[in-house]
Amino acid sequence: MIMKRFLFISIILSVLISACNQQEKSNGNIYSTAPEGAIVLFDGRDFSQWTNCDGGEVRWKIADGIMEVVPDSTYACKRIQGIMTKQLFNDFQLHVEFLLPESENTNSGVYIQRRYEVQINDEYNAENSPGMGGSIYRQKIPDVNVSKPKGEWQTYDIIFRAARFDPADPAKKVENARITVLHNNVVIHNNVIITTKTGVGDPEGPEPGPIMLQDHLAPVKFRNIWVIPNVPAKTLPEVKK
């Protein structure tokens, strides 16, 4: 167990060191470039990897290499507004950068497989409740609150292992989903179990799902998004008991 934990910490450190080594400055901002083998979901140019939540064309805007939520108060998608990847994913590692506007009461989120939300929120909103920034919505608050003030760029690095289902009975879950989240390069969830879908997320199931960025009626900005699909399960640590 100790060796496995040491191995896990080593893997995380090597990911971080690698990310730091690959940082480059552009327009005064620091970017972590996508490593080899990653699928670039947004490089500042277009929405070619994305659709609106209703499957139609994305209606958010891009300026200066940054995408911005254009709030859609029609709630055309009912449960979860936003944009989602065209590609569907099971296990993966995801990097996403976001910025909350200073003047707004902000809320957004990263919906994994459209089922589980890693919350994006104002640093003081819902503090110490599972609606705060970095929480697994309504399930677990972050181990530490490392949110930056509004108006500053922040990062999530998410390592996700999908729930497993019995091939002979696809309705029977045999293993919960698990997640590790680094917020601004600090581990805030360390290979924790997600017991069920969060909030208004889609029901759990064996099918892969899209990665979704939430429109919660605030002009949140995103940039530099990439994913490494099918991260082998063996590279993930054992669940802490």
CB of 142 to Mg ion, least distance (A): 14
Cβ–Cβ under 8 Å, residues 197 and 14: no
Nearer to Mg ion, 13 or 200 (CB): 200
- CB-nearest residue to Mg ion: 109
Structure-block tokens of residue 170: 């696809």
Hey, what long-range contacts does 68-77 have (CB within 8 A, 24 or more apart)?
68/219, 68/220, 68/221, 68/222, 69/108, 69/213, 69/215, 69/218, 69/219, 69/220, 69/221, 70/215, 70/219, 71/215, 71/217, 71/218, 71/219, 72/215, 73/217, 76/52, 77/52, 77/53
- Interface with Mg ion includes 134 (CB under 5 A)? no
CB of 60 to Mg ion, least distance (A): 16
Total of residues contacting Mg ion (CB under 5 A): 4
Q: Which of 109, 142, 201, 219 binds Mg ion (CB under 5 A)?
A: 109
Stretch that binds Mg ion, among 36-44, 111-119, 179-187, 221-229 (CB under 5 A): 111-119
Stretch that binds Mg ion, among 49-57, 118-126, 186-194, 227-235 (CB under 5 A): 118-126
CB of 72 to Mg ion, least distance (A): 15
Stretch that binds Mg ion, among 99-107, 138-146, 150-158, 233-241 (CB under 5 A): 99-107
Nearer to Mg ion, 119 or 155 (CB): 119
H or E, element range at 3: helix 2-21
DSSP string, 142-210: -SS--PPPTTS-EEEEEEEE--EEETTEEEEEEE-EEEEEEETTEEEEEEEEE-S--TTPPPP-SS-B-
CB of 109 to Mg ion, least distance (A): 3
Nearer to Mg ion, 96 or 228 (CB): 96
Q: Rounded to whole angstroms, how far apart are CA atoms 235 and 180? A: 12
x/- binding map, residues 181-220, to Mg ion, per CB under 5 A?
Answer: ---------------------------------x------
Q: Which of 49, 85, 90, 107 binds Mg ion (CB under 5 A)?
A: 107
Phi, psi of 83 (to 5 degrees): -120, 155
Stretch that binds Mg ion, among 24-32, 94-102, 113-121, 232-240 (CB under 5 A): 113-121
Interface residues with Mg ion (CB under 5 A) are 107, 109, 119, 214
